[in-house]
């Protein structure tokens, strides 16, 4: 007999080798796909946090704008005598709304009557699922009634599992109505036996923030002891101006949007700050710090952070000291304003100062403003994030709140005899995350947050044993039809587009940074130098070397052609009067300009006078130290006033300068 192996043995060996090769190929392919997914999500998250930093860095300027443009005598519809502080703070009675806003017979949407019933709530769900809109008459009624009930609630609400089998905790929804409806489909609507805690950030980013609020407020009015609505960091006036909720309400309820928006900010100010279940589980939106004091939070007046001295306020505005109330002491100058605008500001300032002098002494009818300690306590619970390292340090990624470590969690658990901290506020790919040895749980209920297929949403079922069970979901049917490569490709493409737009908006700064490494003027630099220049300007903490093939081209010598960063993008510039430097500035500060316009645009007409726009622009650029020639901006503004009536459509102005991706341009040609 020979010693050679049989033919079946050799075939088995080849099959095994083939299987090993296929397995290696599959693992390598999946690793590359996972790498692409991770850096795409890192891009989205870094840009999101950088945007929040910009918002907070400009909070002083926005505070100035709020102080001079949002006196309640111009924005509040809920006062028949705006100069009377006692009247300004009160809601119109429902009967007064009924007299002011009629519901025509042609309206076929839900008709609400108070007190609400489960049938009313179900009718709202059915209407919104079918893209119907609730009449403003009922929206205002609902908000007034919600405000009335919220005022009776404590800063920290308490729930008990002894009254129901489970309590469901939901995280950020961010205007995604499909996620809320899917949660109700899978888990049932709120009831006495089906209790819910919603942990803030109901609004912004998504298209149906108002519908989510209306549904949740309706169920809250029906079951006030069985549904808890915590406040998030996006339930805030300035955040809403920047991230879309203000624009959503203005577009949906043009005639009554001012009334609705003002009333909403008042409602937001009365949302509880936290919920505690069975005295063991603390639920709040952001997190804690080493100075968080639950007893202090229980005792403060949570609503004073929105309306103070007849002006709309934001949590992003730190309290002013007695000696620092005036805008000159805040580093904002009004010397660049026109006589008309400056006189209006001076009049408002004089009235504001006189109100201070006449009301600040003892016996004043106006409440005292928030203290620094009150402001910090609330900011920490709404903005903070956990981290794996011990200690507590400022949250530089977001620009507000802090990073808190396991030792900070252990300290507050020991002090208040807690078992679990449930928070939201932070994107999680699987919809939830567990940290600090199982003591801190992050729950995020907005699926497809950055892009279709970018993440799942989740909610928590908490049983009487306080053992959390996670339920994941994803509301998009389109995503399910795509394979994993197509899903990741969609996410990656969207992330890179956002990054390329940010790169182009910083074009001048980046070219200057590249030039410092390009001593011979070749237009090419090494990969490490290119990565260092990108990070020095954009400060996104991204893996630039890994991203280089997607952003810039290499020459045959292995050097980066740094100008190729801008090849795939251009600014659509239909107006020849716009200088390149000015276009870049308008592009970079587009969101900030939109906030300023929304503050000024009290009547929601979409129009702004040329004089007011030019003077506000000068004030804005002066505050930021931007060197832009005034005459070039004036020429640009005049060119957009097509009918020469002294006003421009601000939205059209912004749309005149938008990015065009060359790949898309070729595809559409």
Catalytic residues: 234
Residues 6+ apart with CB under 8 A from 514: 525, 530, 533, 562
Rounded-to-integer distance, Cα 273 and Cα 305, Å: 13
Residues 6+ apart with CB under 8 A from 158: 275, 276, 277, 279
Encoded tokens for 203: 């609004």
DSSP tag of 162: G
Rounded-to-integer distance, Cα 54 and Cα 62, Å: 12
Handedness of CA 109, 98, 191, 262 (dihedral sign): positive
Rounded-to-integer distance, Cα 334 and Cα 327, Å: 8
Cis peptide before 347 (omega within 30 of 0): no
Rounded-to-integer distance, Cα 113 and Cα 137, Å: 11
Rounded-to-integer distance, Cα 643 and Cα 220, Å: 49
Rounded-to-integer distance, Cα 64 and Cα 341, Å: 14
- The stretches of 58-171 forming alpha helices (DSSP H) are 59-69, 72-75, 85-88, 94-100, 118-129, 136-150
Token pair 């009930």 is found at 149
Rounded-to-integer distance, Cα 593 and Cα 54, Å: 12
Encoded tokens for 271: 């949302």
DSSP tag of 501: H
**Helices 507-517, 580-588: inter-axial angle, 10-degree rounding:** 110
* Cβ count near 59 (within 10 Å): 19
Encoded tokens for 460: 């928590």
Contact 444, 424 (CB under 8 A): yes
Contact 208, 177 (CB under 8 A): yes
Going from the C-alpha of 560 to that of each of 122, 523, 529, 557, the distances in angstroms are 59, 8, 9, 9
Contact 78, 94 (CB under 8 A): no
Which of 561, 566, 498, 503 has its CA nearest to residue 535?
Answer: 503
Encoded tokens for 508: 């001048």
Rounded-to-integer distance, Cα 488 and Cα 37, Å: 6
Rounded-to-integer distance, Cα 605 and Cα 254, Å: 9
Going from the C-alpha of 252 to that of each of 80, 353, 364, the distances in angstroms are 25, 37, 40
Encoded tokens for 42: 């890192």
Which of 590, 637, 518 has its CA nearest to residue 242?
Answer: 590
DSSP tag of 93: P
Token pair 């998504």 is found at 206
Rounded-to-integer distance, Cα 515 and Cα 530, Å: 10
Q: What burial class does residue 287 get, using C-beta atoms within 10 Å of its C-beta: 0-12 exposed, 13-18 middle, 19+ buried?
A: buried
Contact 148, 269 (CB under 8 A): no
Contact 282, 466 (CB under 8 A): no
């Amino acid at each position: 007999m020979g010693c050679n192996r049989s033919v079946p043995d050799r075939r088995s060996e080849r099959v095994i080798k083939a299987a090993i090769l296929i397995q290696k190929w599959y693992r390598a392919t999946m690793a590359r796909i996972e790498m692409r997914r991770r850096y795409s999500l890192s891009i989205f998250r870094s840009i999101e946090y950088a945007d929040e930093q910009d918002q907070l860095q400009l909070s002083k300027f926005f505070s100035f704008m709020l102080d001079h443009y949002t006196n309640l005598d111009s924005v509040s519809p809920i006062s028949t005598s705006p100069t009377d502080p006692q009247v300004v703070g009160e809601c119109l009675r429902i009967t007064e709304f009924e007299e002011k806003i009629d519901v025509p017979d042609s309206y076929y949407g839900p008709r609400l009557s108070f007190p609400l019933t489960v049938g009313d709530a179900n009718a709202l769900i059915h209407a919104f699922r079918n893209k119907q809109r609730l009449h403003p008459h009922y929206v205002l009624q609902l908000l007034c009634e919600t405000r009335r009930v919220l005022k009776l609630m404590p800063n920290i609400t308490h729930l008990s599992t002894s009254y129901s089998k489970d309590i469901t905790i939901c995280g950020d929804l961010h205007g995604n109505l499909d996620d809320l409806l899917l949660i109700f489909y899978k888990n049932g609507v709120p009831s006495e036996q089906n209790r819910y805690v919603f942990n803030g950030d109901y609004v912004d980013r998504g298209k149906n923030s108002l519908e989510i609020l209306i549904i949740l407020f309706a169920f809250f009015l029906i079951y006030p002891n069985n549904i808890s609505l915590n406040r998030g960091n996006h339930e805030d006036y300035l955040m809403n101006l920047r991230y879309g909720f203000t624009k959503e309400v203005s577009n949906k309820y043009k005639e009554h949007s001012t009334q609705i928006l003002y009333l909403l900010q008042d409602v937001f100010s009365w949302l509880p700050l936290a919920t505690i279940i069975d005295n063991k589980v603390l639920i709040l939106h952001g997190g804690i710090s080493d100075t968080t004091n639950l007893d202090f939070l229980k005792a403060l007046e949570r609503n004073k952070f929105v309306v103070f001295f007849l002006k709309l306020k934001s949590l992003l505005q730190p309290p002013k000291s007695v000696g620092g109330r005036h805008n000159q002491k805040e580093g904002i100058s009004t010397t660049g304003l026109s006589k008309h605008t400056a006189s209006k500001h001076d009049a408002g300032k004089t009235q504001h100062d006189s109100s201070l002098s006449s009301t600040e002494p003892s016996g004043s009818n106006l409440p005292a403003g928030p203290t620094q300690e009150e402001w910090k306590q609330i900011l920490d619970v709404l903005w903070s994030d956990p981290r794996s390292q011990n200690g507590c340090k400022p949250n530089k990624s977001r620009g507000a709140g802090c990073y808190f470590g396991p030792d900070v969690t252990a300290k507050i658990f020991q002090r208040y005899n807690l078992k679990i901290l449930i928070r939201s506020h932070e994107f999680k790919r699987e919809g939830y995350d567990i940290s600090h040895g199982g003591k801190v749980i992050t729950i995020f209920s907005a699926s497809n947050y950055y892009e279709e297929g970018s993440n799942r949403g989740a909610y928590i079922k908490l049983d009487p044993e306080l053992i959390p069970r996670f339920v994941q979901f994803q509301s998009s049917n389109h995503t399910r039809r795509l394979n994993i490569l197509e899903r990741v490709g969609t996410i990656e493409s969207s992330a890179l587009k956002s990054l390329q737009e940010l790169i182009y908006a910083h074009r001048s700064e980046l070219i200057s940074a590249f030039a410092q490494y390009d001593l011979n003027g070749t237009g090419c630099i090494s990969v490490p130098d290119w990565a260092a220049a990108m990070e020095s300007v954009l400060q996104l903490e991204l893996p630039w070397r890994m991203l280089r093939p997607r952003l810039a081209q290499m020459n045959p010598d292995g050097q980066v052609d740094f100008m190729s960063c801008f090849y795939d993008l251009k600014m659509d510039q239909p107006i020849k009067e716009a200088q390149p430097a000015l276009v870049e500035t308008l592009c970079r500060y587009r969101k900030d300009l939109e906030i300023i316009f929304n503050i000024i645009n009290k009547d929601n007409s979409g129009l702004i006078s040329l004089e007011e726009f030019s003077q506000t622009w000068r004030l804005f650029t002066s505050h930021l130290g931007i060197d832009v020639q005034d005459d070039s901006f004036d020429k640009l503004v005049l060119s957009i006033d097509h009918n020469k009536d002294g006003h421009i459509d601000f939205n059209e102005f912004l749309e005149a300068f938008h990015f065009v991706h060359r790949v898309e341009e070729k595809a559409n040609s």
